[in-house]
A and B are shown apart, each in its own frame.
Chain A
Amino acid sequence: MLVQYTIIGILFLGALAFGAFTIILSRLLQPHRPYPEKLETYECGIKTQGTAWVQFKTSYFLYALVFLVFDIETIFLYPWAVKFQSLGLFAIIEMFIFLIILIIGFWYAWKEGALEWR
């Protein structure tokens, strides 16, 4: 168990090292001739207007909230799915009640227009 996750940790570091290595390698091989016009932010050739770091659409935020609810739900659903066959009728009814509560919430979000793209 611990060994498996140690291997995953090493793979994590290895993946980071691979990315860093290729970028450093290409840094050694490539030409480097910057000048101000080249380093400007690309905007189809015209002068760059302002910065891109601005406040942004709220509709993304509403989707994120609904996503959070569903994502946490999946954490509950997976253990249930694994043990489903040994738990019997009780588990199936209980989980369906859980799902129905969630579906009511989903329906409410739908009704209130959280799922509309504006």
Chain B
Amino acid sequence: MEFLNNIFVYIAQWIRETLATLGFTPVWVEVSMAVVYLVAILGVCTLAALFYVLWERKLAGYIQYRPGPNRLGPNGWFQTIADAIKLLTKEDVVPSEADKIVHLMAPVFIFVPTVLALAVIPFGKGMAAVDLNLGVFYLIAVTSLSTIPIFMGGWGSNNKYSLLGAMRAVAQMVSYEIPLVFSLLGVVLITGTLQLQGIVEAQSQVWFVLLQPIAFLIYIIAATAETNRAPFDLPEGESELTAGIYTEYSGMKWALFFLAEYCNLFIVSAMGVTMFLGGWQGPFLPGWVWFLIKTHLLFSFFIWIRWTFPRIRVDQLMHFGWKFLVPLSLANIFLTGIGVYIYKNGLGWW
């Protein structure tokens, strides 16, 4: 049990020791470990995307009372692998009017925020690639970077649908970032640390979803908007903007956008689990199994939202973000601040 709990920590330790016996200096051991982390993170990314694309299609199928993909392999479980191979060998069409460099750079850059964000997520006790003391702040900073490649893609395509989609994407991600950041602030007020491991350990008694229910709700809504998913999928909006930002992308470039989108959703779910649902804490099973179970449930919840709600209009989206979520999240900070102060110090005049 203890061994299973720490299996990945032991593997990392074993690699470290092996490198040290091979005559690496401590600095070079750490640098080599970075490469190991990179491979692990890319593995998690690809596996998560491959699995969740299929899982979403399956779940969507069940929600709409149809079987979903069921031809390739047992119950269609090899469908995404076939899709990935197809995308890899598909012709890449770059429109002659496009800004070719920006058009090419966008899918290369889109993966950077994803990998950087996964670096700090604690999958288990001591199982973050880097346990930064600025964890939460770093995570917010890095995930908001994904606005830039999306805008690059929209602008570089020189297509009206892409430009409209990119404009919407930036406006939406920028607007919903503020409620997202404020909702996480409530948790930081309670724990007094930005370190993700510390936040998870602070939840050993009670999950923060119980102490911060409003913040959790705001987080779920803002995270759906940040990942551009229905009911906030205006940037892609296939019934009005063809494919929005992705209109002029084909083959592997499009696949990279798609991969990053699903990874981002995985990150957002993992972040929600870490901040509000107790992270890797849980009885009986190893920590990382608990973490994956919780992340899976939250991810499925996001899928459920997507296939249940219709898309909202742009003006409704902005009104809801600025005139409802921002004031609500500010009020939540006020309440949490007063609450924490009273809990710590008592009411002085009583």
Which residues in A have some Cβ–Cβ distance to B below 8 Å?
3-4, 6-8, 10-12, 14-16, 18-20, 22-23, 25-27, 29-34, 36, 38-44, 48, 51-53, 56-57, 60, 63-64, 66-67, 70-71, 74, 77-78, 81-86, 88-89, 92, 95-96, 99, 103, 106, 110, 115, 117
Task: Say yes or no: A6 contacts B34, CB within 8 Å.
Answer: yes
A44 (CB) vs chain B CBs: closest residue: B242
Q: Hey, which bits of chain B sit against chain A, CB under 8 A?
A: 27, 30-31, 33-35, 37-38, 41-42, 87-98, 104, 107-112, 114-116, 119, 129-132, 136-137, 140, 155, 157-163, 167, 170-171, 174-175, 177-178, 181-182, 185, 188-189, 192-194, 242, 247-248, 251-253, 255-256, 314-315, 318-319, 322-323, 326-327, 330, 333-334, 337-338, 340-341, 344-345
A81 near B188: Cβ-Cβ < 8 Å:
yes
Q: How far is the CB of B43 from chain A (nearest CB, A)?
A: 11
Interface of A is mostly: helix
Complex Cα spacing A11 to B118, Å = 10
Contacts of A53 in B (CB 8 A): 155, 158, 163
Select which of A7, A36, A85 is within 8 A of B96 by beta carbon: A36
The CA of A12 and the CA of B111, in the complex, are separated in Å by: 9
Residues of chain B within 8 A of A48, CB atoms compared = 97
The prevalent SS among residues of B at the interface is helix
B94's contact among A10, A39, A63, by CB below 8 Å, is which? A39
* Closest A residue to B92 using CB positions: A30
**One of B89, B94, B111, B323 near A18 (C-beta < 8 A):** B111
Decide if A8 touches B116 in the complex (CB within 8 Å). Answer: yes
The answer to whether B112 touches A42, judged by C-beta atoms less than 8 angstroms apart, is no
Sample 30 A-B pairs with CB under 8 A, ordered by A number. Answer: A6-B30, A6-B34, A7-B30, A11-B116, A11-B129, A14-B35, A15-B38, A15-B114, A16-B108, A19-B109, A23-B252, A29-B89, A30-B89, A36-B96, A39-B96, A41-B158, A42-B242, A52-B157, A52-B160, A53-B158, A70-B326, A74-B140, A74-B178, A77-B182, A81-B189, A84-B337, A85-B192, A92-B337, A92-B338, A115-B323
Q: How many A-B residue pairs have CB under 8 A?
A: 210
Q: Contacts A63-B171, A66-B322, A106-B326; is A26 near B89 (CB within 8 Å)?
A: yes
Report whether A8 and B108 are in contact in the complex, using a CB–CB cutoff of 8 Å. Answer: no
A3 to B108, CA, bound (A): 26
**Residue contact A16 to B109, C-beta cutoff 8 Å:** yes
Cα–Cα, bound, A82→B202 (Å): 14
Residues of B within 8 A of A14 (CB): 34-35, 38, 42, 115
Whether the pair B112, A16 counts as a contact (CB closer than 8 A) is yes
With the chains together, A106 CA to B178 CA distance in Å? 13
